[in-house]
Structure 1
Amino acid sequence: MDFALFGSVFLTLFVIMDPPGITPIFLALSGGRPVKVQRRMAWQATLVAFGVIALFAVCGQQILDYLHVSVPALMVSGGLLLLLISLDLLTGKADEPTQTKDVNAALVPLGMPLLAGPGAIVTVILAVQRADGAGQYTAVWMAIVAMHVVLWLTMRYSLLIIRVIKDGGVVLVTRLAGMLLAAIAVQQIANGITDFINAA
Protein backbone atom coordinates (compact mmCIF):
# COMPACT_ATOMS: atom_id res chain seq x y z
CA MET A 1 0.00 0.00 0.00
CA ASP A 2 1.20 3.53 -0.79
CA PHE A 3 1.32 5.09 2.71
CA ALA A 4 2.27 8.53 1.37
CA LEU A 5 -0.87 8.59 -0.78
CA PHE A 6 -2.94 7.26 2.13
CA GLY A 7 -1.71 10.11 4.34
CA SER A 8 -2.29 12.71 1.63
CA VAL A 9 -5.88 11.63 0.88
CA PHE A 10 -6.72 11.15 4.56
CA LEU A 11 -5.44 14.59 5.58
CA THR A 12 -7.21 16.27 2.67
CA LEU A 13 -10.50 14.61 3.60
CA PHE A 14 -9.94 15.43 7.29
CA VAL A 15 -9.56 19.13 6.50
CA ILE A 16 -12.57 19.18 4.17
CA MET A 17 -14.96 17.00 6.22
CA ASP A 18 -13.71 18.60 9.48
CA PRO A 19 -14.77 16.17 12.28
CA PRO A 20 -14.21 18.74 15.10
CA GLY A 21 -16.22 21.35 13.20
CA ILE A 22 -19.14 18.98 12.65
CA THR A 23 -19.48 18.35 16.40
CA PRO A 24 -21.60 21.42 17.34
CA ILE A 25 -23.88 20.87 14.33
CA PHE A 26 -24.36 17.20 15.25
CA LEU A 27 -25.07 18.16 18.87
CA ALA A 28 -27.63 20.73 17.71
CA LEU A 29 -29.45 18.25 15.48
CA SER A 30 -29.35 15.36 17.95
CA GLY A 31 -30.06 17.30 21.16
CA GLY A 32 -33.25 16.34 22.99
CA ARG A 33 -33.40 12.88 21.43
CA PRO A 34 -33.07 9.59 23.34
CA VAL A 35 -29.49 8.31 23.57
CA LYS A 36 -30.34 5.33 21.37
CA VAL A 37 -31.65 7.66 18.63
CA GLN A 38 -28.59 9.91 18.92
CA ARG A 39 -26.26 6.95 18.48
CA ARG A 40 -28.30 5.76 15.50
CA MET A 41 -28.03 9.22 13.95
CA ALA A 42 -24.23 9.06 14.31
CA TRP A 43 -23.84 5.81 12.40
CA GLN A 44 -26.59 6.66 9.88
CA ALA A 45 -24.87 9.93 8.98
CA THR A 46 -21.52 8.16 8.68
CA LEU A 47 -23.02 5.38 6.57
CA VAL A 48 -24.77 7.83 4.23
CA ALA A 49 -21.60 9.88 3.83
CA PHE A 50 -19.55 6.76 3.10
CA GLY A 51 -22.12 5.52 0.59
CA VAL A 52 -22.12 8.82 -1.30
CA ILE A 53 -18.33 9.12 -1.26
CA ALA A 54 -17.90 5.49 -2.37
CA LEU A 55 -20.40 5.96 -5.20
CA PHE A 56 -18.59 9.02 -6.51
CA ALA A 57 -15.21 7.34 -6.06
CA VAL A 58 -16.36 4.52 -8.34
CA CYS A 59 -18.28 6.45 -11.00
CA GLY A 60 -18.43 10.11 -9.94
CA GLN A 61 -17.14 11.72 -13.11
CA GLN A 62 -19.48 9.62 -15.23
CA ILE A 63 -22.47 10.65 -13.08
CA LEU A 64 -21.63 14.37 -13.36
CA ASP A 65 -21.00 14.09 -17.10
CA TYR A 66 -24.23 12.15 -17.70
CA LEU A 67 -26.31 14.72 -15.80
CA HIS A 68 -24.37 17.61 -17.38
CA VAL A 69 -23.72 18.94 -13.87
CA SER A 70 -20.56 20.89 -13.10
CA VAL A 71 -18.77 20.94 -9.74
CA PRO A 72 -19.64 24.65 -9.19
CA ALA A 73 -23.34 23.80 -9.68
CA LEU A 74 -22.95 21.06 -7.06
CA MET A 75 -21.35 23.56 -4.68
CA VAL A 76 -24.09 26.19 -5.09
CA SER A 77 -26.94 23.68 -4.70
CA GLY A 78 -25.30 22.19 -1.60
CA GLY A 79 -24.79 25.67 -0.18
CA LEU A 80 -28.46 26.58 -0.67
CA LEU A 81 -29.54 23.40 1.08
CA LEU A 82 -27.22 24.13 4.03
CA LEU A 83 -28.56 27.69 4.20
CA LEU A 84 -32.13 26.43 4.57
CA ILE A 85 -31.09 24.04 7.36
CA SER A 86 -29.14 26.79 9.15
CA LEU A 87 -32.19 29.07 9.14
CA ASP A 88 -34.21 26.31 10.82
CA LEU A 89 -31.53 25.98 13.51
CA LEU A 90 -31.38 29.73 14.09
CA THR A 91 -35.16 30.11 14.39
CA GLY A 92 -35.67 26.99 16.49
CA LYS A 93 -37.75 25.14 13.91
CA ALA A 94 -35.38 22.14 14.02
CA ASP A 95 -36.01 21.47 17.71
CA GLU A 96 -39.04 19.17 17.44
CA PRO A 97 -37.79 15.63 18.22
CA THR A 98 -39.99 13.68 15.80
CA GLN A 99 -38.94 10.33 14.41
CA THR A 100 -39.03 11.63 10.83
CA LYS A 101 -36.80 14.54 11.75
CA ASP A 102 -34.33 12.18 13.46
CA VAL A 103 -33.92 10.13 10.31
CA ASN A 104 -33.81 13.14 7.98
CA ALA A 105 -31.20 14.92 10.10
CA ALA A 106 -28.89 11.94 9.75
CA LEU A 107 -29.38 11.90 6.00
CA VAL A 108 -29.68 15.65 5.35
CA PRO A 109 -27.74 17.74 6.25
CA LEU A 110 -25.34 15.47 8.20
CA GLY A 111 -24.69 12.68 5.72
CA MET A 112 -24.92 14.99 2.74
CA PRO A 113 -23.96 17.74 2.04
CA LEU A 114 -22.10 18.43 5.32
CA LEU A 115 -19.93 15.31 5.39
CA ALA A 116 -20.17 14.13 1.78
CA GLY A 117 -20.07 17.62 0.29
CA PRO A 118 -18.72 18.87 -3.03
CA GLY A 119 -15.18 19.23 -1.68
CA ALA A 120 -14.98 15.64 -0.45
CA ILE A 121 -16.63 14.33 -3.63
CA VAL A 122 -14.16 16.14 -5.91
CA THR A 123 -11.23 14.97 -3.72
CA VAL A 124 -12.10 11.29 -4.05
CA ILE A 125 -12.89 11.57 -7.78
CA LEU A 126 -9.45 13.09 -8.43
CA ALA A 127 -7.67 10.67 -6.08
CA VAL A 128 -9.16 7.62 -7.82
CA GLN A 129 -8.43 9.04 -11.27
CA ARG A 130 -4.78 9.66 -10.37
CA ALA A 131 -4.25 6.30 -8.61
CA ASP A 132 -2.00 3.93 -10.53
CA GLY A 133 -1.86 0.27 -9.56
CA ALA A 134 -3.42 -1.86 -6.82
CA GLY A 135 -1.27 -0.33 -4.08
CA GLN A 136 -2.45 3.21 -4.75
CA TYR A 137 -6.10 2.19 -5.18
CA THR A 138 -5.88 0.38 -1.83
CA ALA A 139 -4.37 3.48 -0.21
CA VAL A 140 -7.20 5.71 -1.49
CA TRP A 141 -9.93 3.36 -0.27
CA MET A 142 -8.23 2.80 3.10
CA ALA A 143 -8.03 6.58 3.56
CA ILE A 144 -11.75 6.91 2.79
CA VAL A 145 -12.66 4.15 5.27
CA ALA A 146 -10.33 5.53 7.99
CA MET A 147 -11.82 9.02 7.59
CA HIS A 148 -15.34 7.72 8.11
CA VAL A 149 -14.30 5.76 11.18
CA VAL A 150 -12.93 9.01 12.62
CA LEU A 151 -16.20 10.79 11.77
CA TRP A 152 -18.27 8.13 13.50
CA LEU A 153 -16.07 8.17 16.62
CA THR A 154 -16.24 11.99 16.76
CA MET A 155 -20.04 12.09 16.58
CA ARG A 156 -20.52 9.03 18.79
CA TYR A 157 -18.47 10.41 21.68
CA SER A 158 -19.57 14.03 21.26
CA LEU A 159 -22.84 12.84 22.83
CA LEU A 160 -21.05 12.94 26.18
CA ILE A 161 -21.02 16.73 25.83
CA ILE A 162 -24.83 16.82 25.81
CA ARG A 163 -24.91 15.18 29.24
CA VAL A 164 -22.72 17.97 30.60
CA ILE A 165 -24.31 21.06 28.99
CA LYS A 166 -27.96 19.97 29.57
CA ASP A 167 -30.98 21.43 27.71
CA GLY A 168 -30.00 25.10 28.03
CA GLY A 169 -26.59 24.39 26.61
CA VAL A 170 -28.11 22.43 23.73
CA VAL A 171 -30.22 25.45 22.75
CA LEU A 172 -27.11 27.64 22.83
CA VAL A 173 -25.16 25.13 20.75
CA THR A 174 -28.07 24.93 18.30
CA ARG A 175 -28.02 28.68 17.67
CA LEU A 176 -24.21 28.65 17.38
CA ALA A 177 -24.40 25.74 14.95
CA GLY A 178 -26.97 27.66 12.91
CA MET A 179 -24.61 30.62 12.60
CA LEU A 180 -21.66 28.41 11.66
CA LEU A 181 -23.73 26.47 9.16
CA ALA A 182 -25.02 29.69 7.58
CA ALA A 183 -21.44 30.93 7.19
CA ILE A 184 -20.37 27.61 5.63
CA ALA A 185 -23.34 27.76 3.26
CA VAL A 186 -22.65 31.33 2.13
CA GLN A 187 -18.95 30.53 1.61
CA GLN A 188 -19.83 27.45 -0.43
CA ILE A 189 -22.26 29.42 -2.61
CA ALA A 190 -19.67 32.17 -3.08
CA ASN A 191 -17.02 29.61 -4.07
CA GLY A 192 -19.40 28.02 -6.55
CA ILE A 193 -20.30 31.36 -8.14
CA THR A 194 -16.60 32.30 -8.34
CA ASP A 195 -15.83 29.03 -10.09
CA PHE A 196 -18.70 29.66 -12.51
CA ILE A 197 -17.28 33.09 -13.36
CA ASN A 198 -13.74 31.77 -13.75
CA ALA A 199 -14.92 28.98 -16.02
CA ALA A 200 -16.89 31.35 -18.25
Structure 2
Amino acid sequence: MIVQTFINFYLKIFFILTPFFVLSAFISLTKDFDDIEKKRTAVRVTVGVMISSFVFYLFGKYIFELFGITLDAFRIGAGTILFLSAITMIAEKDDTKKHANSSDIAIVPLAMPMTVGPGVIGMLLVTGAEAESLTEKLIIGIAVFLAVISVGIILYLSSSVKRLIGEQGLVILPKITGLFVSAIAAQIIFTGVQNFLHLN
Protein backbone atom coordinates (compact mmCIF):
# COMPACT_ATOMS: atom_id res chain seq x y z
CA MET A 1 0.00 0.00 0.00
CA ILE A 2 2.79 2.42 0.96
CA VAL A 3 4.84 1.52 -2.14
CA GLN A 4 1.77 1.87 -4.37
CA THR A 5 0.96 5.29 -2.90
CA PHE A 6 4.56 6.42 -3.40
CA ILE A 7 4.74 5.23 -7.03
CA ASN A 8 1.34 6.75 -7.81
CA PHE A 9 2.27 10.18 -6.49
CA TYR A 10 5.83 10.08 -7.85
CA LEU A 11 4.64 9.43 -11.41
CA LYS A 12 1.81 11.95 -11.13
CA ILE A 13 4.08 14.73 -9.83
CA PHE A 14 6.88 13.85 -12.28
CA PHE A 15 4.58 14.24 -15.28
CA ILE A 16 2.87 17.36 -13.91
CA LEU A 17 6.30 19.00 -13.62
CA THR A 18 6.45 18.47 -17.43
CA PRO A 19 10.12 17.43 -17.56
CA PHE A 20 10.41 17.16 -21.34
CA PHE A 21 8.66 20.47 -21.97
CA VAL A 22 11.05 22.07 -19.46
CA LEU A 23 13.99 20.25 -21.08
CA SER A 24 13.07 21.69 -24.47
CA ALA A 25 12.87 25.20 -22.98
CA PHE A 26 16.13 24.65 -21.05
CA ILE A 27 18.01 23.61 -24.18
CA SER A 28 16.63 26.62 -26.08
CA LEU A 29 17.50 29.13 -23.36
CA THR A 30 20.99 27.73 -22.64
CA LYS A 31 22.10 27.15 -26.23
CA ASP A 32 24.88 29.77 -25.86
CA PHE A 33 26.09 28.42 -22.50
CA ASP A 34 29.12 26.16 -22.06
CA ASP A 35 28.71 22.79 -20.32
CA ILE A 36 29.71 24.04 -16.86
CA GLU A 37 27.29 26.97 -17.06
CA LYS A 38 24.49 24.65 -18.22
CA LYS A 39 25.09 22.32 -15.27
CA ARG A 40 25.15 25.23 -12.81
CA THR A 41 21.89 26.53 -14.25
CA ALA A 42 20.33 23.05 -13.98
CA VAL A 43 21.31 22.85 -10.30
CA ARG A 44 19.84 26.31 -9.63
CA VAL A 45 16.61 25.37 -11.41
CA THR A 46 16.35 22.20 -9.31
CA VAL A 47 16.89 24.11 -6.05
CA GLY A 48 14.31 26.73 -7.08
CA VAL A 49 11.74 24.09 -8.01
CA MET A 50 12.41 22.12 -4.81
CA ILE A 51 11.92 25.11 -2.50
CA SER A 52 8.81 26.43 -4.24
CA SER A 53 7.24 22.94 -4.49
CA PHE A 54 7.61 22.24 -0.79
CA VAL A 55 6.34 25.68 0.22
CA PHE A 56 3.09 25.06 -1.67
CA TYR A 57 2.88 21.41 -0.61
CA LEU A 58 3.38 22.02 3.10
CA PHE A 59 1.29 25.17 3.52
CA GLY A 60 -1.66 24.39 1.20
CA LYS A 61 -4.00 23.49 4.07
CA TYR A 62 -3.36 26.77 5.86
CA ILE A 63 -3.87 28.78 2.66
CA PHE A 64 -7.30 27.19 2.22
CA GLU A 65 -8.21 27.98 5.82
CA LEU A 66 -6.97 31.56 5.52
CA PHE A 67 -9.07 32.34 2.43
CA GLY A 68 -12.01 30.10 3.32
CA ILE A 69 -11.71 28.09 0.10
CA THR A 70 -13.11 24.56 0.02
CA LEU A 71 -10.81 21.80 -1.19
CA ASP A 72 -13.25 20.66 -3.89
CA ALA A 73 -13.65 24.18 -5.29
CA PHE A 74 -9.88 24.45 -5.51
CA ARG A 75 -9.68 21.00 -7.13
CA ILE A 76 -11.96 22.21 -9.93
CA GLY A 77 -10.01 25.46 -10.38
CA ALA A 78 -6.56 23.85 -10.22
CA GLY A 79 -7.61 21.03 -12.54
CA THR A 80 -8.91 23.53 -15.09
CA ILE A 81 -5.65 25.51 -15.06
CA LEU A 82 -3.63 22.29 -15.31
CA PHE A 83 -5.77 21.19 -18.27
CA LEU A 84 -5.13 24.51 -20.04
CA SER A 85 -1.39 24.07 -19.41
CA ALA A 86 -1.58 20.62 -20.98
CA ILE A 87 -3.31 22.05 -24.06
CA THR A 88 -0.51 24.63 -24.36
CA MET A 89 2.09 21.84 -24.36
CA ILE A 90 0.20 19.83 -26.96
CA ALA A 91 -0.26 22.93 -29.13
CA GLU A 92 3.49 23.61 -28.77
CA LYS A 93 3.30 27.30 -27.98
CA ASP A 94 6.85 28.50 -27.48
CA ASP A 95 7.12 31.14 -24.74
CA THR A 96 10.88 30.92 -24.35
CA LYS A 97 11.75 33.72 -26.77
CA LYS A 98 10.35 36.51 -24.62
CA HIS A 99 12.61 35.32 -21.77
CA ALA A 100 15.71 34.90 -23.90
CA ASN A 101 17.30 38.10 -22.63
CA SER A 102 16.54 37.49 -18.94
CA SER A 103 19.58 38.02 -16.72
CA ASP A 104 18.78 34.95 -14.62
CA ILE A 105 16.82 32.27 -16.43
CA ALA A 106 17.24 29.62 -13.70
CA ILE A 107 14.51 30.96 -11.42
CA VAL A 108 12.48 32.91 -14.00
CA PRO A 109 11.28 31.49 -16.30
CA LEU A 110 12.65 27.93 -15.88
CA ALA A 111 11.83 27.21 -12.22
CA MET A 112 8.75 29.43 -12.26
CA PRO A 113 6.51 29.52 -14.19
CA MET A 114 7.68 26.85 -16.67
CA THR A 115 8.24 24.03 -14.18
CA VAL A 116 6.20 25.23 -11.20
CA GLY A 117 3.33 26.94 -12.99
CA PRO A 118 -0.23 27.66 -11.80
CA GLY A 119 -1.36 24.09 -12.51
CA VAL A 120 1.50 22.55 -10.53
CA ILE A 121 0.95 25.01 -7.67
CA GLY A 122 -2.73 24.09 -7.55
CA MET A 123 -1.99 20.37 -7.60
CA LEU A 124 0.60 20.68 -4.79
CA LEU A 125 -1.79 22.74 -2.66
CA VAL A 126 -4.56 20.15 -3.11
CA THR A 127 -2.22 17.18 -2.51
CA GLY A 128 -0.84 18.71 0.67
CA ALA A 129 -4.31 19.50 2.00
CA GLU A 130 -5.61 16.00 1.14
CA ALA A 131 -2.89 14.14 3.07
CA GLU A 132 -4.63 12.97 6.23
CA SER A 133 -1.86 11.33 8.26
CA LEU A 134 1.76 12.23 8.95
CA THR A 135 2.86 9.00 7.25
CA GLU A 136 0.95 9.85 4.08
CA LYS A 137 2.32 13.39 4.10
CA LEU A 138 5.84 12.02 4.47
CA ILE A 139 5.41 9.49 1.64
CA ILE A 140 4.07 12.17 -0.70
CA GLY A 141 6.85 14.53 0.41
CA ILE A 142 9.47 11.93 -0.56
CA ALA A 143 7.67 11.46 -3.90
CA VAL A 144 7.79 15.23 -4.52
CA PHE A 145 11.49 15.33 -3.57
CA LEU A 146 12.46 12.47 -5.90
CA ALA A 147 10.27 13.76 -8.75
CA VAL A 148 12.02 17.15 -8.59
CA ILE A 149 15.44 15.45 -8.39
CA SER A 150 14.51 13.35 -11.46
CA VAL A 151 13.65 16.50 -13.42
CA GLY A 152 16.90 18.08 -12.22
CA ILE A 153 18.94 15.10 -13.45
CA ILE A 154 17.31 15.35 -16.88
CA LEU A 155 18.26 19.05 -17.06
CA TYR A 156 21.76 18.40 -15.69
CA LEU A 157 22.33 15.80 -18.42
CA SER A 158 20.47 17.86 -21.05
CA SER A 159 23.19 17.57 -23.69
CA SER A 160 23.31 13.78 -23.37
CA VAL A 161 19.50 13.49 -23.28
CA LYS A 162 19.24 15.65 -26.41
CA ARG A 163 21.68 13.36 -28.25
CA LEU A 164 19.78 10.30 -27.02
CA ILE A 165 16.24 11.33 -28.01
CA GLY A 166 17.13 13.64 -30.92
CA GLU A 167 15.38 16.76 -32.20
CA GLN A 168 12.25 14.79 -33.09
CA GLY A 169 12.08 13.40 -29.57
CA LEU A 170 12.19 16.93 -28.15
CA VAL A 171 9.09 17.72 -30.21
CA ILE A 172 7.15 14.52 -29.51
CA LEU A 173 7.84 13.94 -25.79
CA PRO A 174 6.35 17.25 -24.53
CA LYS A 175 3.15 16.42 -26.43
CA ILE A 176 2.96 12.95 -24.87
CA THR A 177 3.56 14.56 -21.46
CA GLY A 178 0.75 17.00 -22.25
CA LEU A 179 -1.65 14.10 -22.84
CA PHE A 180 -0.78 12.53 -19.47
CA VAL A 181 -1.14 15.89 -17.71
CA SER A 182 -4.54 16.51 -19.34
CA ALA A 183 -5.76 13.12 -18.06
CA ILE A 184 -4.53 13.91 -14.53
CA ALA A 185 -6.20 17.34 -14.72
CA ALA A 186 -9.49 15.79 -15.85
CA GLN A 187 -9.37 13.36 -12.91
CA ILE A 188 -8.80 16.23 -10.45
CA ILE A 189 -11.77 18.16 -11.93
CA PHE A 190 -14.07 15.10 -11.88
CA THR A 191 -13.16 14.36 -8.25
CA GLY A 192 -13.91 17.95 -7.27
CA VAL A 193 -17.27 18.00 -9.10
CA GLN A 194 -18.26 14.56 -7.73
CA ASN A 195 -17.47 15.52 -4.13
CA PHE A 196 -19.20 18.89 -4.52
CA LEU A 197 -22.40 17.24 -5.83
CA HIS A 198 -22.39 14.69 -2.99
CA LEU A 199 -22.06 17.45 -0.41
CA ASN A 200 -24.96 19.32 -1.93
TMscore range, shorter length: 0.5 to 0.7
Rounded Cα–Cα distance in structure 1 between residues aligned with 2:182 and 2:189: 11
Q: 1:22 to 1:157 in 2, by over 3 A?
A: farther
* Amino acid in the other structure paired with 1:85: S
Of the structure 1 ranges 76-85 and 47-56, higher mean CA displacement relative to structure 2 is found in 47-56
* Partner in structure 1 of residue 48 of structure 2: 47
* Partner in structure 1 of residue 170 of structure 2: 170
Instruction: Give the drift of 1:17.
Output: 1.5
Rounded Cα–Cα distance in structure 2 between residues aligned with 1:142 and 1:183: 22
* Amino acid in the other structure paired with 1:160: S
* Partner in structure 2 of residue 18 of structure 1: 14
Q: 1:28 to 1:180 in 2, by over 3 A?
A: farther
Rounded Cα–Cα distance in structure 2 between residues aligned with 1:142 and 1:82: 20
Instruction: Give the drift of 1:67.
Output: 0.8
Instruction: Give the drift of 1:66.
Output: 1.7
In structure 1, list runs of 5 or more residues that go unmatched. none
Instruction: Give the drift of 1:71.
Output: 1.8
Instruction: Give the drift of 1:34.
Output: 2.0
Rounded Cα–Cα distance in structure 1 between residues aligned with 2:80 and 2:42: 23
Instruction: Give the drift of 1:70.
Output: 1.7
* Partner in structure 1 of residue 116 of structure 2: 111
In structure 2, list runs of 5 or more residues that go unmatched. none
Q: 1:30 to 1:85 in 2, by over 3 A?
A: farther
Instruction: Give the drift of 1:81.
Output: 1.7
Rounded Cα–Cα distance in structure 2 between residues aligned with 1:141 and 1:176: 24
Rounded Cα–Cα distance in structure 1 between residues aligned with 2:4 and 2:186: 28
1:1-200 pair list within 5 angstroms: 13-18=9-14, 22-34=18-30, 40=41, 43-44=44-45, 47-57=48-58, 59-94=59-94, 96-99=96-99, 103-104=108-109, 106-113=111-118, 115-118=120-123, 120-125=124-129, 130-131=133-134, 143=142, 145=145, 148-157=148-157, 160-200=160-200
Rounded Cα–Cα distance in structure 1 between residues aligned with 2:30 and 2:113: 19
Rounded Cα–Cα distance in structure 2 between residues aligned with 1:56 and 1:175: 26
Q: 1:49 to 1:111 in 2, by over 3 A?
A: farther
Rounded Cα–Cα distance in structure 1 between residues aligned with 2:130 and 2:189: 22
Corresponding residue SS for 1:18: helix
Rounded Cα–Cα distance in structure 1 between residues aligned with 2:150 and 2:50: 12
Rounded Cα–Cα distance in structure 1 between residues aligned with 2:150 and 2:170: 23
CA contact (8 A) 1:75 1:189 kept: yes
Give the RMSD, CA atoms, in angstroms.
4.1
Paired-residue identity, %: 17
Q: 1:96 to 1:112 in 2, by over 3 A?
A: closer
Rounded Cα–Cα distance in structure 2 between residues aligned with 1:159 and 1:76: 38
CA contact (8 A) 2:75 2:191 kept: yes
1:76-121 deviation per Cα after TM superposition (whole angstroms, max 9, x unaligned): 2222222222222233322653326963453235214565553x44
